[in-house]
Structure 1
Amino acid sequence: MFTYKSLLTVLFYTFFLYSNYFGYDLYIANTIFALMALASLFLLSKKELFISGFFISVLWFWWIGYSFVYYDLIFLIPIIIVAIGCIYGVLFYLIGLSNNFIYKFIYIVILSYINPFGFNWFKLELLFVNSYFGISKIEFILILLFVSLFLYYKDKYKRGSFILFFVSLVTLYIHNISNSTIVTKPKLEIVQYNTKIKQNEKWERDNKQKIVMENFLAIQNAIDTKKDLIILPETAFPLLLNRTKDINNRLLELSYKISIVTGSLYEKDGLYYNSTYFYENGKVKVAHKVVLVPFGEAVPFPEKIRNLINDLFYNGAKDYETAKKPTTFIIQGIKFRSAICYEATTDDIYEDLDTPYIIAISNNAWFTPSIQPTLQKMLMKYYKKKYNLYYLNVTNY
Structure 2
Amino acid sequence: MKVDRLALSSFKKKLSSYFSLKIIKSSFLNAILLSIFIYFSIFENIFLSILGFLAFVFGVFRLVFVRENAAFIWLLTGFFVGVFWFYWIAFSLVYYDFAYLIPFEIFGIGVVYGLIFLCFYMIFSFFARCLGGAGGILKPVILALGFYLIQFVHPFGFNWLNWHLSLIGTPFERVFARQNDSKNPPFKIELISSRIPQDELWQSSRKKEHFVNNLALIDKAIKNGARLVVLPESAFATNLNQNLELIETLKQKSQKIAILTGAEAYENGTFYNSAYFFDAGEMRRIDKHILVPFGEEIPLPEFLKKPINALFFGGASDFGKAGDFSYIEVEGVRFKVAICYEGTRPQLYANKPDFVLLISNDAWFVPSTQSTLQNLLLRYYALKNGSVIFHSANFNDKKVIR
The answer to whether residue 69 in structure 2 is matched with residue 48 in structure 1 is no
- 2:9 matched residue in structure 1: none
Residue 296 to residue 11, structure 1, CA distance change in 2 (3 Å): same
Contact 1:129–1:378 (CA under 8 A) maintained in structure 2? yes
Alpha-carbon separation, structure 1, partners of 2:184 and 2:98 = 43
Query: Aligned pair count?
Result: 356
Alpha-carbon separation, structure 1, partners of 2:302 and 2:391 = 34
Give the Å deviation of 1:183: 5.2
Contact 1:277–1:284 (CA under 8 A) maintained in structure 2? yes
Alpha-carbon separation, structure 1, partners of 2:227 and 2:120 = 53
- 1:91 matched residue in structure 2: 116
Higher deviation after alignment, 48-57 or 36-45: 36-45
Give the Å deviation of 1:342: 0.6
- 1:29 matched residue in structure 2: 51
The 3-state SS of whatever aligns with 2:358 is: strand
Give the Å deviation of 1:305: 0.8
With normalisation by structure 2, the TM-score equals 0.84
Alpha-carbon separation, structure 2, partners of 1:236 and 1:46 = 47
The AA in structure 2 aligned to 1:208 is: K
The 3-state SS of whatever aligns with 2:277 is: strand
**Structure 1: where are the runs of 5+ without partners?**
135-172
Which residues of 2 match residues 147-158 of structure 1 at below 5 A?
none
- 2:293 matched residue in structure 1: 294
- 1:157 matched residue in structure 2: none
The 3-state SS of whatever aligns with 1:75 is: helix
Contact 1:27–1:131 (CA under 8 A) maintained in structure 2? yes
The answer to whether residue 169 in structure 2 is matched with residue 130 in structure 1 is yes
Match for residue 388 of structure 2 among 367, 387, 390: 390
The AA in structure 1 aligned to 2:78 is: G
- 2:143 matched residue in structure 1: 104
Contact 1:275–1:287 (CA under 8 A) maintained in structure 2? yes
Alpha-carbon separation, structure 2, partners of 1:96 and 1:333 = 52
Alpha-carbon separation, structure 2, partners of 1:133 and 1:116 = 28
Contact 2:148–2:163 (CA under 8 A) maintained in structure 1? no
Residue 21 to residue 304, structure 1, CA distance change in 2 (3 Å): same
The 3-state SS of whatever aligns with 1:46 is: helix
Alpha-carbon separation, structure 1, partners of 2:373 and 2:145 = 27
The 3-state SS of whatever aligns with 2:152 is: coil
Alpha-carbon separation, structure 1, partners of 2:198 and 2:74 = 37
Residue 24 to residue 361, structure 1, CA distance change in 2 (3 Å): same
The answer to whether residue 38 in structure 2 is matched with residue 17 in structure 1 is yes
**For each residue in 1:339-395, what CA deviation from the matched residue of structure 2 results, as whole angstroms up to 9, or x when unmatched?**
000110001222345x31111100001111111110110110111111111111011
Alpha-carbon separation, structure 1, partners of 2:87 and 2:182 = 34
Higher deviation after alignment, 102-111 or 59-68: 102-111
**For each residue in 1:183-204, what CA deviation from the matched residue of structure 2 results, as whole angstroms up to 9, or x when unmatched?**
5432221111111101101101
Alpha-carbon separation, structure 2, partners of 1:202 and 1:392 = 23
Give the Å deviation of 1:103: 5.0
The AA in structure 1 aligned to 2:87 is: W
**Structure 2: where are the runs of 5+ without partners?**
1-18, 129-138, 396-402
Give the Å deviation of 1:14: 1.3
Residue 35 to residue 181, structure 1, CA distance change in 2 (3 Å): farther
Alpha-carbon separation, structure 1, partners of 2:179 and 2:92 = 37
Contact 2:263–2:276 (CA under 8 A) maintained in structure 1? yes
Match for residue 374 of structure 1 among 353, 372, 375: 372
Alpha-carbon separation, structure 2, partners of 1:296 and 1:176 = 31
Contact 2:233–2:394 (CA under 8 A) maintained in structure 1? yes
Higher deviation after alignment, 316-325 or 123-132: 123-132
The 3-state SS of whatever aligns with 2:91 is: helix
Alpha-carbon separation, structure 2, partners of 1:105 and 1:18 = 24
Q: Which protein is bigger by CA-based radius of gyration?
A: 2
Contact 2:176–2:384 (CA under 8 A) maintained in structure 1? no
Contact 1:237–1:263 (CA under 8 A) maintained in structure 2? yes
Residue 246 to residue 80, structure 1, CA distance change in 2 (3 Å): same
Alpha-carbon separation, structure 1, partners of 2:219 and 2:314 = 39
Contact 1:30–1:131 (CA under 8 A) maintained in structure 2? no
**For each residue in 1:276-310, what CA deviation from the matched residue of structure 2 results, as whole angstroms up to 9, or x when unmatched?**
11111111122110111111111110112111100
Higher deviation after alignment, 384-393 or 27-36: 27-36
Give the Å deviation of 1:37: 3.1
Give the Å deviation of 1:40: 3.1
Alpha-carbon separation, structure 1, partners of 2:388 and 2:208 = 33
Contact 1:53–1:92 (CA under 8 A) maintained in structure 2? yes
Give the Å deviation of 1:29: 1.5
The AA in structure 2 aligned to 1:211 is: H
Residue 206 to residue 54, structure 1, CA distance change in 2 (3 Å): same
The AA in structure 2 aligned to 1:94 is: C
Q: Tell me the C-alpha RMSD between the 2 structures.
A: 2.0
Contact 2:50–2:169 (CA under 8 A) maintained in structure 1? no
**For each residue in 1:45-90, what CA deviation from the matched residue of structure 2 results, as whole angstroms up to 9, or x when unmatched?**
1111112111111111111111110110112111100001111111
Which residues of 2 match residues 249-264 of structure 1 at below 5 A?
249-264=248-263
Alpha-carbon separation, structure 2, partners of 1:365 and 1:3 = 33
Contact 1:10–1:56 (CA under 8 A) maintained in structure 2? yes
